[in-house]
């Protein structure tokens, strides 16, 4: 390294902060006049990664090792320097030597950036008389291997590079300590980079720092590969174990982003009804199949059907050898998705002939290779129809048919499928349907079934659901081929679930337990910087080292991101910094306080459900709330003037806003709306009340052997309310509504409320409309249409409870509900209903 002077014009403003993902720098020192004589490269940890001497140079005569020709050295440097941030002392000189040497060997100089410690030292120590490496090292008392700088050892490339590295680290620490925190007005111009701290489902898009959990990710891929190569097409299980906020769902999101183009990723949330576990799983699978695959204009279901159907046709000799079959297969040879594009116009005879040919041969092949018992063959026919039609109205009808819903005769005739009826065994139907997907995947790629948000099953009131869920997992692992079944769980929940699962299930899942340990501090810093860089900031733009230490001291990745968000809001919006969360100690000594808090909870759950049910003038579609509740008590608002209450309230409002935004987005996606799922959600809400409020009982009505709508009876000892859901159609709708009307007449002192989602087909039949009118004409019953606002608020209540239980939201449940009247202060039917429960 040669000395430099004050005329050095290298770009010294490029200062690479390790917190800005610039940890990939190297330190380079060269020796020579115009052409390279000697070079050393040190990595950011101070380790020597490259050293070389130009063979034949007159100053290197005594050097016996690490000698190479100039062209060999330049070939090495071409790879080592490409894209790097290069730290040098006298960067202008080093860069000139390197460029001259590349030019001498007719090589193009690689793209890289230089930082000059000479210039940086001048910035931080402007009054020093000398900025040579030796002077600075001595003045700043820098050491390498615990030894100070020795002039007799200087001008060795390795020696100078190591002290240059120490000098850079020193200057970097000065930079960090003296970093100017940007002003509130400037910070407020940037959006909060930490608004999202969790992944709700793997089809969302979030920033992903792939160095975190990459080994665990590769482990899951290796298990998936084992499923693919299994000669018997047996499914395998895996458990991803991690505490709340460690990134279990985020890991599955990474799998979806990389593998969705090949594998089908199916996301199943916690079941809530013990009688319909398989049907719940199947409904969530259908919703996942509707997710679009990036890079195509098709859904997961359309890809599975296209790939498997083309594979089937290619396996049938008589198809492949026939003129029509060969022509059809040739159209799909390069891209199986052409099955949707090249068979002609949908209303043409050519199109119909081609699809009749495909349908006939696929059904024949299926009948020869698989059992035709159960529902499997009918479901396959429905999938062929789904593939055959491109019109959205037809696909919507077929999607409802695939979900096991009874269609009107007109709809069934339109799509040419056998209609389901009210006697359909939905659990048996659902398992057969899932098995069909598994069999089709054997002709494509393995399915990835992810069961997430399961922690609530460990609660006492959900024991029956957990037991049936364990049986369902056993059946899926046994009867659904070619699938990787993943359970995301807390460590303690996995231990608990093992007591309820069949030993064979535990054995198969235990073979692949993947534990997510907390990321390393440096990885957490990288995650924070990924998020801040996305909006054009650095974490050190608004946080001091002490504040960053506080952020990094939190217990999980999610907690860390939430704490970083707190600091942003504190700095940019003047929102006071909340205290860090402390655990709540529930013991007998504070029982009285708990009872009071629980009473507040019950009151405030009601407030969450504003607009749950709407008031309309049309008797067929709406309800007059005033006819049902004339004497509901008013709620006394709690005093929330204290500082901590205001801080918590602000955090709760932000959490509810994010949660509601997600629910709104999902509302506009195709969903499988079922009575069993809706009643399960209502039971979850109501059982939360019943656990703590002893005068509340939950029951069901009977009418001999007649089928009733899914419903629950809420009995407060003084009053009785029946709330049900009726989202089915056709004759089943009319018969079940007729049955409930009998009970309405026979139980005049009970109040009956029957709900139907507005996204379900409108009831057009005369009998059905007449039964609605009968119900609305009673004094104690009403038929309710749930519009978008009503549905979203219903989901908001359910999701808030579930996510707090599962620690997805770091909120105290009791305190959250005590503040909700001020946040959501509008009455609705459920609000009034819960007030009646509390009053009684």
Give the up-direction half-sphere exposure of residue 678: CA atoms within 13 A in the CB hemisphere.
23
Residue with tokens 């018992």: 373
Q: How many CB atoms lie within 10 A of CB 151?
A: 9
603: alpha, beta or left, given left = phi > 0 and alpha = psi -120 to 50?
alpha
Distance, in Å, from the CA atom of 446 to the CA atom of 710, rounded to the nearest integer, reads 36
Indicate if 213-263+448-518 has the same CATH topology as 18-177: no
Q: How many CB atoms lie within 10 A of CB 45?
A: 8
Tell me what pLDDT residue 192 has: 93
Give Cβ neighbours of residue 227 (< 8 Å, ≥ 6 apart): 234, 235, 236, 446, 482, 483, 484
pLDDT in tens, 362-383: 999 999 999 888 899 999 999 9
Question: Span 213-263+448-518: which CATH code?
Answer: 3.40.50.300
Tell me what pLDDT residue 828 has: 58
Q: What phi and psi, each to the nearest 5 degrees, are found at residue 67?
A: -95, 135
Tell me what pLDDT residue 818 has: 60
Distance, in Å, from the CA atom of 378 to the CA atom of 356, rounded to the nearest integer, reads 16
Q: Would you kindly state where each structural domain of the chain is located, as residue ranges?
A: 18-177, 181-194+519-577, 213-263+448-518, 274-444, 588-628+641-839
pLDDT in tens, 100-110: 999 999 999 99
| DSSP type of residue 758 | T
Tell me what pLDDT residue 830 has: 56
Low-confidence ranges of the chain (pLDDT < 70): 1-23, 175-180, 580-642, 692-694, 813-814, 816-822, 824-840
Class of the CATH-defined domain 18-177: alpha beta
Q: What is the pTM of this model?
A: 0.72
Distance, in Å, from the CA atom of 726 to the CA atom of 742, rounded to the nearest integer, reads 16
Distance, in Å, from the CA atom of 652 to the CA atom of 816, rounded to the nearest integer, reads 7
């Amino acid at each position: 390294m040669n000395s430099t002077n004050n005329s050095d014009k290298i770009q010294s403003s490029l200062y690479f902060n390790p917190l800005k993902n610039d940890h990939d720098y190297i330190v380079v020192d060269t020796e020579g006049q115009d052409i390279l004589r000697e070079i050393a490269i040190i990595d950011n940890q101070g380790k020597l990664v490259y050293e070389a001497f130009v063979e034949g140079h007159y100053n290197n005569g005594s050097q016996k090792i690490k000698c190479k020709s100039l062209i060999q050295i330049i070939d090495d440097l071409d790879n080592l320097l490409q894209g790097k941030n290069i730290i040098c002392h006298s960067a202008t000189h080093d860069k000139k030597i390197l460029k001259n040497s590349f030019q001498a060997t007719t090589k193009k100089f690689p793209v890289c950036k230089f930082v000059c410690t000479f210039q940086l030292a001048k910035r931080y120590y402007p009054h020093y008389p000398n900025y040579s490496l030796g002077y600075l090292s001595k003045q700043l008392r820098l050491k390498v291997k615990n030894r100070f700088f020795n002039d007799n050892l200087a001008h060795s490339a390795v020696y100078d590079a190591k002290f240059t590295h120490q000098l850079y680290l020193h200057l970097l620490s000065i930079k960090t300590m003296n970093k100017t925190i940007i002003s509130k007005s400037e910070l407020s111009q940037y959006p909060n980079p930490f608004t999202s701290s969790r992944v709700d489902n793997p089809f969302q898009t979030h920033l992903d720092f792939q160095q975190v959990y990459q080994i665990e990710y590769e482990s899951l891929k290796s298990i998936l590969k084992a499923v693919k190569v299994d000669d018997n097409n047996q499914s395998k299980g895996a458990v991803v174990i991690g505490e709340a906020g460690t990134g279990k769902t985020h890991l599955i999101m990474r799998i979806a982003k990389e593998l969705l183009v090949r594998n089908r990723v199916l996301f199943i949330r916690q079941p809530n009804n013990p009688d319909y576990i398989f049907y719940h799983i199947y409904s969530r699978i259908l919703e996942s199949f509707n997710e679009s695959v990036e890079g195509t204009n098709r859904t997961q279901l359309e890809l599975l059907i296209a790939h498997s159907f083309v594979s089937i046709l290619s396996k049938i000799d008589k198809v492949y050898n026939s003129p029509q079959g060969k022509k059809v297969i040739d159209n799909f040879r390069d891209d199986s998705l052409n099955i949707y594009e090249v068979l002609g116009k949908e209303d043409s005879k050519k199109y119909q002939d081609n699809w009749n040919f495909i349908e006939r041969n696929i059904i024949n092949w299926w009948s020869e290779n698989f059992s035709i018992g159960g529902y499997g063959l009918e479901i396959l026919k429905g999938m062929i129809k789904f593939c055959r039609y491109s019109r959205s109205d037809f696909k919507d009808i077929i999607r409802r048919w695939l979900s096991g819903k009874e269609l009107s005769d007109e709809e069934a005739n339109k799509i040419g499928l056998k209609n389901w009826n009210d006697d359909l065994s939905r659990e048996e139907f659902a398992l057969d349907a899932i098995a069909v997907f598994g069999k089709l995947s054997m002709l494509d790629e393995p399915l990835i079934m992810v069961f997430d948000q399961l922690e609530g099953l460990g609660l006492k009131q959900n024991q029956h659901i957990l037991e049936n869920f364990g049986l369902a997992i056993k059946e899926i692992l046994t009867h659904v081929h070619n699938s990787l079944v993943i359970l995301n769980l807390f460590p303690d929940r996995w231990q608990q679930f093992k007591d309820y699962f069949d030993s064979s299930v535990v054995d198969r899942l235990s073979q692949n337990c993947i534990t997510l340990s907390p990321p390393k501090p440096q990885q957490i810093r990288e995650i924070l910087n990924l998020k801040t860089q996305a909006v054009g900031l650095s974490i050190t733009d608004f946080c001091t080292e002490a504040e960053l230490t506080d952020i990094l001291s939190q217990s999980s990745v999610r907690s860390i991101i939430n704490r970083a968000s707190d600091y942003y809001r504190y700095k940019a919006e003047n929102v006071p910094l909340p205290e860090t969360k402390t655990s709540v100690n529930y013991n007998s000594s504070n029982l009285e306080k708990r009872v009071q808090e629980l009473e507040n909870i019950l009151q405030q759950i009601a407030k969450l459900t504003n607009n749950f049910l709407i008031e309309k003038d049309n008797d067929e579609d709406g309800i007059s709330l005033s006819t049902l509740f004339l004497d509901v008590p008013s709620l006394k608002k709690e005093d929330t003037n204290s500082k901590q209450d205001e801080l918590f309230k602000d955090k709760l409002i932000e959490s509810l806003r994010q949660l509601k935004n997600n629910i709104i987005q999902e509302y506009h996606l195709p969903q499988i709306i079922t009575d069993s799922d809706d009643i399960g959600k209502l039971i979850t809400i109501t059982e939360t009340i019943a656990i703590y409020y002893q005068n509340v009982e939950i029951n069901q009505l009977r009418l001999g052997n007649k089928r009733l709508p899914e419903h629950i009876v809420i009995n407060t000892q003084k009053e009785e309310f029946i709330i049900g859901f009726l989202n089915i159609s056709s004759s089943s709708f009319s018969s079940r509504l007729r049955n409930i009307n009998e009970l309405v007449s026979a139980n005049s002192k009970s109040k009956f409320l029957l709900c139907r989602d507005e996204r379900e087909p409108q009831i057009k039949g005369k009998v059905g409309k007449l039964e609605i009118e009968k119900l609305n004409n009673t004094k104690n019953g009403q038929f309710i249409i749930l519009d978008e606002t009503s549905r979203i608020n219903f989901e908001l209540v359910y999701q808030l409870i579930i996510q707090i239980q599962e620690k997805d939201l770091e909120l105290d449940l009791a305190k959250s509900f005590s503040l909700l009247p001020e946040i959501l202060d509008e009455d609705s039917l459920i609000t009034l209903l819960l007030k009646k429960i509390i009053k009684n």
